[in-house]
Amino acid sequence: MTAYAIAHLRDAEPHPDVAEYIERIAGTFEPFGGRFLVHGTPPEVKEGAWAGHVVVIGFPGIDEAREWWDSPAYREIAPLRSRHIEGDIILVGGVPQDYDPSATAQAIREVPASH
């Protein structure tokens, strides 16, 4: 199942370290089957507030995403970003193509309402 590394980046400080990070990051995730799905495109906010940018990197599976995150190559360049950009980063697995949300809806119905 496909997995994703999703970053919500805020308060980016223009710095040569950030430029180096951007130049080098693809070389860290490509060996794990990763590829940019979203990068540099301003988000179109439809609800709530959203400050910053979003980056999405797709991987063949969650194991590959974890291996990339923990890889020496990525760990080496991560400080180039984290010293100059505030943000949140998550790894999340996708759902199978035949995913049916009805089981989740049913589980919610079975939980007593709190209101």
Q: What is the pLDDT of residues 10-59, one digit of tens each?
A: 988 899 999 999 999 999 999 999 999 999 888 999 999 999 999 999 99
CATH 3.10.20.740 fits domain 3-109: no
| pTM (2 d.p.) | 0.89
Alpha-carbon distance 37 to 21, whole Å?
17
| DSSP label of 33 | T
Domain boundaries, the chain: 3-109
Residue with structure tokens 């496909």? 2
